[in-house]
Amino acid sequence: MVFSTVFFLFTYFPIVLLLHYITPVHYRNAMLLVVNLIFYGWKKPAYLFIMFASIGIDYVHGLLVEKAKAQGNDRRARRYVAQSVIFNLALLGFFKYWDFIARSLAAVGLGFMPVLGLELPIGISFYTFQTMSYTIDVYRGDAKAQRSMVNFGTFVTLFPQLIAGPILKYKDLADQIDQRDYPVERFASGVQIFVVGLAKKVLLANNIGALWDVYKALPAAQLTTAGAWLGVLCFSLQLYFDFSGYSDMAVGLGKMLGFEFSGNFNYPYAARSITDFWRRWHISLSSWFREYLYFPLGGSRVGRGRLIFNLMVVWSATGIWHGANWNFLLWGVYYGALLILEKLVWGDALKKLPVPVQRVYTLFIVLVGWALFAIEDFSLLGPYLAAMFGAAEGGVLDGAFLYHLRSYLPILAVATVGSTPAVKQVWYKLPEKAQKLACPLLLLAGVLLSTAYLVDGTYNPFLYFQF
């Protein structure tokens, strides 16, 4: 089940909201656990068994870690943490990477691993990271072990963020799991954020994504340089509004249920460097890798050689986390190399350039990176990159490019402006009276237009399902 459907908007969530607020406070987590599991297992109930295993293993290991620490047995505590991490990585590795490894080995004549044809359980990349961080946080003393299995299960399965994040750290949500309040202001804020996210996903991402599908499917002989850049621009905007829209909806739903989640995006296309970009894009994932992988490796407080090693390990892991394919690993290595160069070679010089130049530099690198990310087939990736850099078989531009540009120019313009802080800045400059008048009208328009699109349209992909 996804948020951007008529069924979720007008049936499932209203029922959940009603049940949540009529249920006595003491039993709300139990109620949430039930609706979370229904949400997750809606079309694939078998996935629930994997979820139960993850909940059970990490719940027990959290208690064992805390007990060992209380007894002063740090060695045993570390062993329990290692068991939890190994279990979660094994779970993720089996379902996400077994077939990828088997096919890769078979391609070089090593066919000893059978291809199992496994389906990727939805959201497994997100909830395994959350439960892994739980036992680590308990070991570090950053959080107490959760005594209630219901409360722990609620944390793991919390449906607003279950299938696409943001990735929650238990230590940041522990107090809210055990006890939370429900101010009207938080609920109202949640409604606003949810509707904005819905409009971003349905009205912008879906429409722009249709043009990317056109260019992605073009034979190399028909691809022009201008078309290749237009296509990857569309993908970059589609991905941003798809994922940030879904993250906004998650934050909004959380607020309506009494939770406060951190934002996952901060206008990444306004970044002035690649380092700055990754402080703004998928913030919860970057934060997770920084805290649980980069810092334990030594972070940046090491020699140059070890710094290069640390960054390449982290970014290789970041790349392959996104998908079981070589292009994702290449994409991760690409960013690892660029971040190393910014830190060690040209970062200081970049800061001295005019801000527009910094942003053009960043956008250029990011757009090339999205081509690596979006095209999984290397036989198609090579010609596409060649076309972007002037070696297009179809020439520089053609009539099809001009037609698509004219057709999509209004929505591309809206999306481009919407991906920057400009709209927000203008909004906050309006008089308070104008804001109060315009806000409900804009929200109503967002709901009505999004609903109309969902009722009429058939194109409603969700890009982060694969992760």
Alpha carbon distance 125, 163 (integer Å): 9
Round to whole Å and give the CA distance between 183 and 400: 53
Please report the pLDDT score of residue 165 as a whole number.
74
Which residues, 6+ apart, have CB-to-CB distance to 196 below 8 Å?
A: 245, 248, 252, 446
User: Which sequence spans correspond to the domains of the chain?
Assistant: 6-180, 186-466
Closest CA to 249 of 46, 82, 60, 9: 9
Residues 6+ apart with CB under 8 A from 411: 204, 207, 208
User: Is residue 176 a contact partner of residue 118, using CB atoms and an 8 Å limit?
Assistant: no
Chain centre distance of CA 236 = 14
Q: Is the pLDDT of residue 389 over 60?
A: yes
- pLDDT, position 9: 92
CB atoms within 10 A of CB 152: 25
> Residues 209, 231: contact at Cβ < 8 Å?
no
Contact 420, 267 (CB under 8 A): yes
Q: What is the pLDDT of residue 393?
A: 85
Distance CA 387, CA 395 (A): 8
User: Which of 270-279, 298-307, 393-402 is the most confident on average?
Assistant: 270-279
What is the structure's pLDDT at 42?
86
Confidence band for 138, pLDDT divided at 50, 70 and 90:
very high
Question: What are 69-87's pLDDT values in tens digits?
Answer: 999 999 999 999 999 999 9
* From 20, 61, 282, 322, the catalytic residue: 322
Q: Which amino acid does the sequence have at 82?
A: A
The torsion angle over the Cα atoms of residues 317, 319, 320 and 326, rounded to 10 degrees, is: -130
Instruction: Tell me what pLDDT residue 227 has.
Output: 94
Residue % of the chain over a pLDDT of 90: 74
Query: What's the token pair of residue 252?
Result: 């909004």
- Is a pLDDT exceeding 70 seen at residue 463? no
Q: Does position 97 have pLDDT exceeding 80, yes or no?
A: yes
**Could you report the per-residue pLDDT of 414-451, keeping only the tens digit for each?**
999 999 999 999 988 899 889 889 999 999 999 999 99
In the prediction, which pLDDT does 456 show? 79
User: Is there a catalytic annotation at residue 322?
Assistant: yes
- Half-sphere exposure of residue 54: CA atoms within 13 angstroms, side-chain side: 29
> Is pLDDT of 467 > 70?
no
Q: Is the pLDDT of residue 48 over 70?
A: yes
Q: CB pairs under 8 A, 24+ apart, for 169-173? A: 169/130, 169/133, 169/137, 169/287, 169/288, 169/291, 170/130, 170/133, 170/134, 170/137, 170/143, 170/146, 171/133, 171/137, 171/142, 171/143, 172/262, 173/259
Q: CA geometry: angle at 165 spanning 162 and 170, to 5°?
A: 80
How confident is residue 455, by pLDDT bands cut at 50, 70 and 90?
confident
Residue 366 has what pLDDT?
Answer: 97
Cβ atoms within 10 Å of 211's Cβ, excluding its own: 22
In the chain, the amino acid numbered 111 is: G
Rg over alpha carbons for the chain, rounded to the nearest Å, is 23
pLDDT for residue 162: 83
For residue 150, the model assigns a pLDDT of 94
pLDDT above 80: residue 347: yes
Q: What integer pLDDT is reported at residue 385 of this predicted model?
A: 95
**pLDDT tens for each residue of 277-297:** 999 999 999 999 999 999 999
Mean pLDDT score, 101-105: 93
Is residue 136 a contact partner of residue 81, using CB atoms and an 8 Å limit?
yes
93-102 mean pLDDT: 93
Residues 6+ apart with CB under 8 A from 34: none
Residue 312's pLDDT is: 96
Share of the chain above pLDDT 70, in %: 98
The average pLDDT across 229-253 equals 95
Instruction: Taking residues 330-349, report their average pLDDT.
Output: 95
Structure-token pair, residue 401: 């490019």
- CA distances (Å), 249 to each of 95, 170, 176, 264, 403, in order? 27, 20, 19, 11, 34
Q: What is the pLDDT of residue 462?
A: 64
Residue 144 confidence (pLDDT) above 80:
yes
**What span, in angstroms and rounded, lies between the C-alpha atoms of 73 and 89?**
25
Look at 25-29, 262-266, 455-459 and tell me which has the smallest mean pLDDT. Answer: 455-459
Summarised one tens digit per residue, pLDDT across range 111-136 is 889 999 988 888 888 899 999 999 99
Q: How far apart are CA 124 and CA 86, in angstroms?
A: 15
The predicted structure's pLDDT at residue 44: 84
